[in-house]
Structure 1
Amino acid sequence: MALGIGLIFGIMRLINFAHGEMVMAGGYAMALLVTLPAPLVILAAIIIVVSLALTIEKIAFRPLRGNDPATLLVASFTVSYFLQNVALMIFGGRPLPFTFAPGLSEIYEFAGLRVPLLQFVSLGLTVFALVGLALVLKRTSIGIQLRAAAEDVVTARLSGIRVNRVIALAFALSAVLAWVVSLIYSAQIGQISPTMGVRPLIIGFVATILGGLGSLAGAALGGFVVGVVSVLLEIFLPAETRPFREAFLFGIVFLMLVIRPEGLVRVRALQERV
């Protein structure tokens, strides 16, 4: 989730709050197509989510490009609220039970530890997404263009880079990452709803800020730090305070940002040049 948010911010300086609705769209797409063979469900869901992301970029964000960041922020809130209400009108507000792969809930035992298969799948998909995105950014020409646009959009455009295509690709990549989240998250909670993307969006946003806005390495690091702190709180908090775990989590993140407000990874492109 943090990678998808950080990717768009790195290029457009846009905190895309509609990213949560990409997760929601992925969940509903898989639910509607669940009768098809699993590979077709995955392929079709990714195509639907990517198409939705590209449509949003072209209709909602491209006309506002170059405006004040506050305008883009309001636009992202508007798109998020609009998509939530469209889903509400079509599917209703009641959560629908959904499990794409029931076998993911199977428990495996290793050295006395009982671990759900979903945990291994989640780890594998996360590592695959992280390594794949790193290879695209470091080893391909389009990745170099993405990094150039993240560094300075104006200079990239003057250098002959087709910025519209680069930004559209960034939205497509973030949509694929959102689909990965929708697969894992819907399997964890066992249901889908119009607001299912809100909670992971907030946690992913916190992780992105903690790692350093505009840095994909920082986003990944921030995500792992938030995950580790969350698990440690689950272990050490008294039972009666565990329902408020996220309040403690955000409090700890706030203290970390007071100490290092730029995040764990400094982004050179966001530093003032003299």
Structure 2
Amino acid sequence: MKEVAILLEFMQQLINGLSLGAIYALIALGYTMVYGIIMLINFAHGDIMMVGAFVGFFSISILGANIVVAMLFAMVTCAVLGVVIEKVAYKPLRNSTRIAALITAIGMSLFLEYTTIFLLGPSQKVFPASAFPAKNYYLMGLNISNKDIFIFVSAVVLMMILQYIIKRTKTGKAMRAVSLDKDAAVLMGINVDKTISITFAIGSALAAAAGVMVGVYYNTVNPLMGIIPGLKAFVAAVLGGIGIVPGAMVGGFVMGILETMVSGYGNSLYRDAVAFGVLILILLIKPTGLFGKNTGEKV
């Protein structure tokens, strides 16, 4: 009986980790797509997720939209925001040094955070209870909530759509071509600027979906909510192999499971430390990530 209880506890933590990992994976995809295209670490990405969470919150609380409509509205809004940020902040610096682009990304992150604080205030806002009524299912001793199911299924569907876009569409082929060789892509008639904008739009839309999922998962949103999930998603992208789409997916799930295991079996105070400890280890042992720089498929 003791062995069964231990196994059930492990499976419960695994289920919790999959839903959290799905959120990290969606955010990590934006990091890795942008890096694969223009070699930029977009540190404003976590704050785009925060904007998406607020758009979802107001869509539900003011417009009375259901969770799916709110998520779609947040994705469209943040897709536009991502393109605007790319055009205004990053495009003028495309031929500048990497440190200039990196500082700009950090500045854009702070701009989004404190503009949101100025407009909406610093206090957190609670998702309406009607937004996603909680319900638990008990299966073979495991407690599975409808929130976990919704987050995991939604994330997997979005990842499948992304993979279809990258592998099967003309836009995806253009993204892969620009990722491999920008100059050659220009010679082949590919509009590089348009392709980069589409990449930002898709990555930002995925981050917005993750933001709504975070709101559902924790029931609250606040202007600084994108900092830690954004950094952990960055760690997930590095863990899987920055610039490699499947690596970001795997890295996100690994980070989510690792975090829940640390919280469940150790102390939740250490979960952030463990996440960034993983970053240090991967940079020391295998800087190219689990999938390696030259394996898998870049954006």
- Judge conservation of contact 1:99–1:191 (CA < 8 Å) in 2: no
Note the alpha carbon deviations across 1:14-58, whole angstroms, 9 max, x for none.
100111121111111122222333254344322211111111111
Residue 109 (structure 1) aligned to one of 115, 120, 138: 138
Residue 162 (structure 1) aligned to one of 191, 194, 206: 191
Q: How many residues get paired?
A: 266
1: distance between equivalents of 2:218 and 2:200?
26
Note the alpha carbon deviations across 1:247-274, whole angstroms, 9 max, x for none.
13322442243221211112239xxxxx
Alignment of 1:186-265 (within 5 A): 186-237=215-266, 241-265=267-291
Q: Which moved more, 1:138-147 or 1:24-33?
A: 24-33
1: distance between equivalents of 2:38 and 2:130?
36
Q: In the TM superposition, what is the alpha-carbon distance from 1:122 to its structure 2 partner?
A: 1.2
Alignment of 1:117-132 (within 5 A): 117-132=146-161
Larger RCO (CA within 8 A; separation ≥ 6): 2
Note the alpha carbon deviations across 1:148-190, whole angstroms, 9 max, x for none.
1111212211221100110010011011101111111011221
1: distance between equivalents of 2:137 and 2:223?
32
- Judge conservation of contact 2:136–2:145 (CA < 8 Å) in 1: yes
- Please list every run of 5 or more consecutive structure 2 residues that lacks an aligned counterpart in the other structure: 1-26
1:50 maps to: 79
Q: Which moved more, 1:218-227 or 1:138-147?
A: 218-227
1:152 maps to: 181
1: distance between equivalents of 2:253 and 2:69?
31
Superposition TM-score, scaled by structure 1 size: 0.91
Cα distance, 1:117–1:51 mapped onto 2, change above 3 Å? same
1:6 maps to: 32
- Judge conservation of contact 2:74–2:205 (CA < 8 Å) in 1: no
2:105 maps to: 76
Establish whether residue 96 from structure 1 lines up as the match of residue 122 from structure 2. no
Cα distance, 1:82–1:135 mapped onto 2, change above 3 Å? same
Residue 95 (structure 2) aligned to one of 51, 54, 66: 66
- Please list every run of 5 or more consecutive structure 1 residues that lacks an aligned counterpart in the other structure: 270-274
* Residue identity matched to 2:112: L
SS in 2 for 1:214: coil
2:64 maps to: 36
Superposition TM-score, scaled by structure 2 size: 0.84
SS in 2 for 1:263: coil
* Residue identity matched to 1:243: L
Q: In the TM superposition, what is the alpha-carbon distance from 1:140 to its structure 2 partner?
A: 0.7
- Judge conservation of contact 1:53–1:172 (CA < 8 Å) in 2: yes
1: distance between equivalents of 2:275 and 2:57?
32
Note the alpha carbon deviations across 1:43-81, whole angstroms, 9 max, x for none.
432221111111111111111112111111111111111
Percent identity reads 30
Q: In the TM superposition, what is the alpha-carbon distance from 1:95 to its structure 2 partner?
A: 0.9
Q: Write out the 4+ residue segments of structure 1 that deviate beyond 6 Å after TM superposition.
A: none
